[in-house]
């Protein structure tokens, strides 16, 4: 985020306040807003308050005492080539180019009104991969955790639309921010929302009810909270529901061993890890045939 722009804005409102000071003021305003929202949630929705507290505590704790893992990662381009080889086919990416430019335009509209950080946006290389996998596998049911403004959501829904079948169930507890709920999936074009069901809440609460209803999951995308305990729990909960064939993609796995432990336990037909194109993130992909 460009705090100098925010700073300029505050400076206009408060003449005499230097830009850098105004910028820091805006950061602190965000902190204050978050603290006030959290206090409201504590009274209105104690379970959600506890979920947010758990996320904050485990994230901080794992940053201090967790074990980083160096995954041997190939590139996103190599990953797409591998997927093409695996499914022995081609996917026309013309409509993805168009979607990507629409999403970029929507991202620009977000500037200045975004209630929570746009650093949540998934890398386009990951989003494209989600699209390609959905086109190859033609899933009935896709489940994803972590929507934020909805980059991966838009790409998955586009693929389902082109397939002419399938639904996406997304699970998301929005980041703290004023009217944050209204912005979840902001980047998803309206005409793609017919095949989309958004479940509000943390995966550990939503999954035990949702997964038995769905009965099976063809593609699972983890992109929520990337702590060891959360990745481990989501993968464990979804595994009994994975159909054959099925694909699992997990974003931002580099900070802990959860993905590695899970593949060793579940023995997918094939799996590998890859570095995203424009983000310093490693994602994992597992295929069950
Ligand atoms: C990295 S962002 C998702 C990015 C998104 N997939 C995209 O393509 O732009 C993570 C999102 O997951 C939400 N979240 C965090 N912990 C969660 C949990 N335990 N269950 C569900 N959603 C969670 C965050 O609030 C945020 O909206």
- Token pair of 167, please? 């639904």
Question: How many whole angstroms from its chain centre is CA 65?
Answer: 24
Residue 148 CA to ligand 1 center (angstroms) comes to 5
Residue nearest to atom 18 of ligand 1 (CA): 202
3-state secondary structure 142-164: EEEECCCCCHHHHHHHHHHHHHC
Evaluate: CB of 152 within 6 angstroms of ligand 1: yes
- pLDDT exceeds cutoff 90 at 287: yes
- Token pair of 162, please? 């082109």
Domains and CATH numbers, the chain: 3-65 (no CATH), 73-288 (3.40.50.150)
Spatial CB neighbours of 232, under 8 Å, sequence gap ≥ 6: 258, 261, 262
Evaluate: CB of 203 within 6 angstroms of ligand 1: yes
Ligand 1 atom with the smallest distance to the CA of 126 is 8
Evaluate: CB of 130 within 6 angstroms of ligand 1: no
Q: pLDDT tens across 156-165, in order?
A: 999 999 999 9
In the DSSP assignment, the letter for residue 68 is -
Q: pLDDT tens across 85-134, in order?
A: 999 988 999 999 999 999 999 999 999 999 999 999 999 999 999 999 99
Spatial CB neighbours of 174, under 8 Å, sequence gap ≥ 6: 116, 148, 180, 181, 183, 184, 200
Residue nearest to atom 5 of ligand 1 (CA): 147
Q: pLDDT tens across 16-57, in order?
A: 556 656 555 556 777 888 899 999 999 999 999 999 999 999
Ligand 1 atom with the smallest distance to the CA of 153 is 8
Ligand 1 atom with the smallest distance to the CA of 221 is 6
Residue 145 CA to ligand 1 center (angstroms) comes to 6
Cα–Cα distance, 266 to 288 (Å, whole number): 9
Q: What mean pLDDT is predicted for residues 255-265?
A: 96
């Amino acid at each position: 985020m460009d705090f100098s722009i925010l700073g300029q804005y505050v400076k206009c409102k408060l003449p005499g306040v230097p830009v850098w000071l105004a910028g820091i003021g805006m950061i602190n305003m965000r902190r204050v807003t978050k603290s006030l929202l959290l206090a409201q949630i504590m009274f209105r929705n104690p379970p959600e308050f506890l979920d947010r507290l758990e996320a904050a505590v485990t994230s901080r704790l794992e940053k201090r005492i967790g074990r980083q893992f160096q995954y041997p990662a190939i590139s996103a381009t190599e990953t797409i080539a591998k997927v093409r080889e695996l499914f022995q086919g081609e996917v026309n990416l013309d409509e993805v180019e168009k979607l990507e430019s629409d999403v970029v335009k929507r991202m620009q509209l977000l500037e200045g009104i975004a209630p929570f950080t746009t650093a949540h946006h998934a890398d386009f290389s990951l989003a494209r991969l989600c699209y390609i996998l959905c086109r190859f596998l033609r899933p009935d049911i896709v489940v994803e955790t972590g929507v934020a403004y909805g980059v991966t959501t838009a790409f998955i829904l586009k693929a389902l639309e082109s397939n002419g079948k399938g639904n996406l169930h997304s699970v998301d507890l929005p980041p703290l921010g004023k009217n944050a709920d209204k912005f979840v999936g902001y980047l998803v074009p309206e005409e793609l929302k017919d095949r989309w069901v958004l479940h509000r809440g943390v995966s550990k609460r939503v999954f035990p009810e949702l997964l038995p209803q769905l009965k099976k999951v063809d593609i699972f995308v983890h992109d929520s909270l990337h702590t060891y305990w959360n990745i481990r729990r989501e993968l464990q909960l979804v595994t009994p529901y994975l159909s054959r064939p099925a694909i699992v993609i997990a974003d931002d796995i580099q900070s802990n061993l959860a993905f590695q432990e899970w593949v060793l336990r579940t023995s997918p037909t094939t799996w590998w890890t890859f570095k995203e194109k424009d983000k310093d993130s490693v994602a994992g992909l597992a295929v069950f045939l």
